[in-house]
Amino acid sequence: MSHDASAPTGTATSPAGSPGDRAGSPGIASFIDHTLLKPDASEAEILKVCAEAAEYGFKSVCVNPVWVKTVKTALKGTGVLTCSVAGFPLGATPSDVKAFEARGAVLDGADEVDMVIDIAAARASDKGALVDDIKAVAEAVHAGEAILKVIIETGLLSDDQKVMACEAAVEAGADFVKTSTGFNGGGATVEDVALLRRTVGPDLGVKASGGVRSLKDAQAMIAAGATRIGASSGIAIVKGEQGSSAY
**Residues classed as catalytic:** 114, 178, 207
Tell me which amino acid residue 118 is. D
CA dist 192 → 65, 123, 136 (Å)? 28, 16, 26
Neighbours of 231 (CB within 10 A): 31
CA dist 46 → 27, 50, 62 (Å)? 24, 6, 10
Residues β-bridged to residue 177: 150, 206
Which residues have CB under 8 Å from 9's CB, separation 6+? Answer: none
CA dist 233 → 15, 209, 211, 242 (Å)? 19, 11, 9, 8
